[in-house]
Amino acid sequence: MAHKGLWEQLLGLDRHKTAQRAKCQYLTNPERYIVKLLNTEYIVGLSDQQIYSQRGSSPENAGFLEQLCLLAYLINAQDLPFANKLVKAEALPGGQFFFRGLHSLPTGELEKAFGDCPEVLYEIAERFDAERCEFGDASIQLYVLPRVPLTIVIWSKDEEFDARASILFDQTAASHLPLDALGTAVNLAVEALVKAVTGGN
């Protein structure tokens, strides 16, 4: 079974406290959590240890990375208020060592998708229940998980500068997800944004 160790940790936790910490629903018969990841609700079944989305007319099994993010979030999330202070990944505890090389954030994909026309970011924002921000040439805040908002900022390219993108976090982000799962969540968010623009599947 995928993520066996994470399932074992989750099953050992108090159900109601977990739902409160993760700001999600806990339901019984059968036991399950309902957690929103990006713009999709997922069922995390405790009896069958299956995770599937409620997207579309029939349930779909969650992918390996979605499962990782959801399980890690349910295990680690804390009942904390937002700091309302935006920071770069490198400013998170341990971030300056983790978010480099293979773990660098995918800002290049955002620059390629939105650098020519940053306003497109606003056009797709509603699909992700994202809020418009006032940074750069275009920016939005979207929730990758209930306690993990991301702020995406795009600067368009011009004669002098290439396009630039930034991904910013609330200062509390690392309290809710280990850095590897946080990086995975960011990759899922960026992939979804880029697909919304390009029409990829």
Digit-by-digit pLDDT tens for the chain (201 residues) are 579 999 999 999 999 999 999 999 999 999 999 999 998 999 999 999 999 997 767 889 999 999 999 999 999 999 999 999 999 999 999 999 999 998 999 999 999 999 999 999 999 998 899 999 999 999 999 999 999 999 999 999 887 889 999 999 999 999 999 999 999 999 999 999 999 988 754
Radius of gyration of the chain (CA): 17
The residues facing 153 across adjacent strands are 139, 166
Contacts of 95 (CB under 8 A, 6+ apart): 88, 89, 174, 179
Q: For residue 134, give both structure tokens.
A: 């006032």
- What span, in angstroms and rounded, lies between the C-alpha atoms of 76 and 71? 9
The verdict on 99 and 9 lying in the same domain is: no
- What span, in angstroms and rounded, lies between the C-alpha atoms of 90 and 169? 10
171-24-75 Cα angle (round to 5): 65
- What span, in angstroms and rounded, lies between the C-alpha atoms of 155 and 165? 6
- What span, in angstroms and rounded, lies between the C-alpha atoms of 187 and 92? 17
Sheet with 40-45, strands from edge to edge, namely 25-27, 32-37, 40-45, 50-53, 60-61
- What span, in angstroms and rounded, lies between the C-alpha atoms of 164 and 156? 7
- What span, in angstroms and rounded, lies between the C-alpha atoms of 173 and 16? 22
**What range defines the domain where residue 59 resides?**
4-76
The verdict on 12 and 35 lying in the same domain is: yes
The residue from 76, 106, 136 where one domain ends is 76
Pairing of strands 32-37, 25-27: antiparallel
Give the per-residue pLDDT at 132.
Answer: 95
**Amino acid at position 31, single letter:** E
Give the per-residue pLDDT at 57.
Answer: 73
Length of the chain counted residue by residue: 201
CA-CA-CA-CA torsion sign (86, 92, 98, 100): positive
Q: How many CB atoms lie within 10 A of CB 88?
A: 14
The verdict on 164 and 109 lying in the same domain is: yes
The verdict on 110 and 172 lying in the same domain is: yes
Instruction: Count how many domains the chain has.
Output: 2
Give the per-residue pLDDT at 1.
Answer: 59
The verdict on 66 and 120 lying in the same domain is: no
The residue from 76, 102, 120 where one domain ends is 76
pTM of the model: 0.93
The verdict on 91 and 177 lying in the same domain is: yes
14-16-18 Cα angle (round to 5): 65
